[in-house]
Structure 1
Amino acid sequence: MAEWPNKTWLVERGIGEDRFLLLEGEQVLAARIEVHGEPKPGDVYTCRLVSRTAGSARGTVHADAGFDILVDKLPRDVSEGSTLDIRLTRAPIVERGRTKMAQGRLADASDAVEERAEAREVAQFPAGLWEDVWDAASSGRLAFPGGEILCCPTPAMTVIDVDGDLAPKPLALGAIEAIAQALRWFAIGGSVGIDFPTLQAKADRAEVNTALDEALLDWPHERTAMNGFGFVQLVARLRGPSLLDRFATARTAMCARFALRMAERARGDGGMLALRIHPALRAHLTEDWIAQLARRIGKPVRIETDPALALEAPSAQIVHHDSQS
């Protein structure tokens, strides 16, 4: 979170997750989620070195918490079976069909410390800001005048497709602000492929390259120049799953936690909260989470299921105890 030192990070402590927004005034610059109980960069784990490549400073450790971590910069005298304190530099990332292993280094290595900006805790974000980010990440789409971008995570990279009704050059230039917004809003890292419309003229491709550089000045990365087919590849530090990754692999869990957030914001003069959700979300709402919700709002909670509701569209209202709607 240290790339924008002059801006304000806010954190909203939710049920099952903490939500972060980077604001400049009322404008959202970046966002991310930390799910409770999940490993995150900066966490330190006691581990056992289970394998080490001969002649290399790399190896694999098994954390007491039950998962494996790829490590590098191991000292020469550390052998298999040794107990080590490892600080995560990248959290595990669940992908379709597999999990990308966590990465880490010795906890006392000076370059392994995770930089973190201070976040100011608030009871609730300003109205609408988190909802805008969440809705955009849920669909993977951001619109701009004359077109839209579609962002899709794959095991190899996050792919951003540019589409619209404009001519190729204005379409490519018009998409850049939305691309820069998506990278920050969705906490995208690692390898990113951008499929711009094909631009035949080298001068046009150079203009798009320059505009992209300017839009990403404060987003540390490396990139290729646009090729003749309109493709650009970015590479940035990968620290954990993006919002897109979470929706791709755990949509119902994301929607269940969002339903709890919406329930916390229900208002009314009745004595009970009625939370109506799609049936698929019910299994993700633990009794502990429901109890937390009741304590936060100071009212008992009734969970209702309705298959006509979309996963992303819960309904919460304060009702009287004898009300059934």
Structure 2
Amino acid sequence: MPEWLVEDGIGETRAILVEGDRVLAAKLRWPGELHAGQQVTAKLTTKRGTRGTGTLADGREILLDRLPQSASEGASLSAVITRGAIAERGRLKLPAARPPEAVTAAADDAFSIGKKVHRFPAGLWEEVWAEASRGEIDFDGGSLLFSVTPAMTVVDVDGDLPPRELALRAARALGEALPRFDLGGSIGIDFPTLEAKADRKAVDSLLENVLADRPHERTAMNGFGLVQLVARLEGPSLLHRLASSRTGMAARMALRRAERVEGAGVTLLTVHPALKAKISDEWITELERRTGRPLRIETDPGLAIEAGAAQIVGHD
């Protein structure tokens, strides 16, 4: 049976749904973030009909929906976060929330029900992270190319197979990709053009099957091969985090590599200069506590942002 595993990292907590040696789904949470399902108390700052804004005790703002008629500005009210904040180019979408009575029962929280582990099985998180970093998932005969835009996530289907077969294989891969990237919201998929209506219906039917367990709405494929779907959005996907905070994601991944190397001596972490600036003293202290080794950071401007490397060297 698939099982959620949870790994407490430095600067982030990771969760993966594992079946055998395959990752079926992945989630990521950073400390201090408001996340879906979290209960908060807010002061109702503004109200326009059933919508408004609220302010938490720490000063953060949230968007409120489904407000009761009796709610008045200045009042304190309970709310449940339905979507975490999402950073986009040039703006930040505030967290969204609703009164508890207006929230439908959500799925179990992976971070609460998952099995806490010291380390994920080797290679599993690395594989998902690399796919999200590239924005690409390969399948037999083709690949899915993901591009995050402020309006939607666009998926381009690429490959050399006959159009019908390529589209069908891409549809299967898409069903696996969405939970692996924790991807929701508005998603546009550019399949190869299928002239025959029967071929388009075959792809629509397959999408219905592979997405059956994922709440969504979807258009039928049009004559140009375009499909748009809207899936439940609870927070930033791995793709969104890499698009808006690539250096922060890469810094956390570099620290994870440094934490996983074994041996006595000094941990030498070699990273792009931009990553060194992102690694806080608090993170360094935590890494040294976890490993029992001092950390030395060196920079190499020739390295890619994602290419931080860790090794054990002799004592200073």
| TM-score normalised according to structure 2 size | 0.95
CA distance in 2, matches of 1:132, 1:151: 16
Shift, 1:244, TM fit: 0.5
1:93 aligns with 2:86: yes
Greater shift after overlay, 76-85 or 113-122? Answer: 113-122
- Name the structure 1 match of 2:31: 36
Please report how far the alpha carbon of residue 113 of structure 1 lies from its aligned counterpart in structure 2 after TM superposition. 6.3
Matched residue SS, 2:243: helix
Tell whether 2:41 aligns with 1:46. Answer: yes
Q: Which residue of 2 aligns with 1:279?
A: 273
2 CA distance for matches of 1:113 and 1:76?
A: 25
- AA at the equivalent of 1:314: G
Choose the corresponding residue for 1:80, options 73, 85, 91. 73
Structure 2 distance, partners of 1:281, 1:288, is 15
- Structure 1 residue 206 displacement after superposition: 0.5
State how far apart, in whole Å, the 1-side matches of 2:159 and 2:54 are: 48
Opposite residue 82 of structure 1, the aligned amino acid is A
Offset, 1:43: 2.2
Note the alpha carbon deviations across 1:95-131, whole angstroms, 9 max, x for none.
Answer: 0111112110124656376742510000000000000
Q: How many residues align?
A: 314
CA deviation profile, 1:251-285 (whole Å, cap 9, x unmatched): 000000000100011123x3211111111001111
Assess if the C-alpha contact under 8 Å between 1:42 and 1:114 holds in 2.
no
* Corresponding residue for residue 311 of structure 1: 305
Output the CA distance in 2 between the equivalents of 1:315 and 1:89: 37
Aligned partner letter, 1:168: P
Runs of 4+ in 1 over 6 A off after TM superposition: none
Q: 1:202 aligns with which of 179, 197, 200?
A: 197
**Kept after mapping to 2: 8 A contact 1:11/1:21:** yes
Which residue pairs with 2:294 in the alignment? 300
Pairwise CA RMSD: 1.5
Q: Percent identity?
A: 54
| TM, length-normalised to structure 1 | 0.93
Deviation for aligned residue 1:45: 2.7
Distance 2:203 2:78 in 1: 46
Letter in 2 for 1:267: E
What CA distance in whole angstroms lies between the structure 1 residues aligned with 2:103 and 2:153?
31
Q: Residue type of the partner of 1:44?
A: Q
**1:69-107 C-alpha deviation (Å, 9 max, x unpaired):** 221222222111111222211001000111112110124
Q: Give, as a single letter, the amino acid of the residue that structure 2 aligns with 1:183.
A: L
- Rounded Cα–Cα distance in structure 2 between residues aligned with 1:218 and 1:108: 25
In structure 2, the CA distance between the partners of 1:177 and 1:107, relative to structure 1 (3 Å rule), is: same
Counterpart residue number, 1:9:
4
Query: Helix, strand or coil for the counterpart of 1:180?
Result: helix
- Per-residue deviation, 1:177: 2.2
Cα deviation for residue 300 of structure 1 reads 0.9
Match of 1:266 among 233, 246, 261: 261
Aligned to 2:285: 291
Partner SS for 1:45: strand
Q: Distance in 2 between matches of 1:246 and 1:89?
A: 18
Alignment counterpart, residue 228 of structure 2, candidates 233, 236, 240: 233
| Contact 1:87 1:112 survives alignment (8 Å) | no
Give, in angstroms, the shift of residue 11 of structure 1: 0.4
Consecutive unaligned residues of structure 2, counting only runs of 5 or more, are none
Distance 1:229 1:223 in 2: 16
What amino acid does structure 1 have at the position aligned with 2:279?
L
Aligned residue identity for 2:303 = L
C-alpha contact (below 8 Å) 2:6/2:16 kept by paired residues? yes
Q: Mark the runs of 5 or more structure 1 residues left unpaired by the alignment.
A: 1-5
Alignment partner, residue 97 of structure 2: 104
8 A contact 2:172–2:206 mirrored in 1: no
In structure 1, distance between residues paired with 2:74 and 2:208? 46
The residue type paired with residue 217 of structure 1 is A
- Counterparts in 2 of 1:100-139, with a 5 A limit? 100-107=93-100, 111=104, 115-117=108-110, 118-139=113-134
**2:173, 2:265 → 1: CA distance?**
44
From 164, 167, 174, the equivalent of 1:169 is 164
Indicate the residue corresponding to 1:3 in structure 2.
none
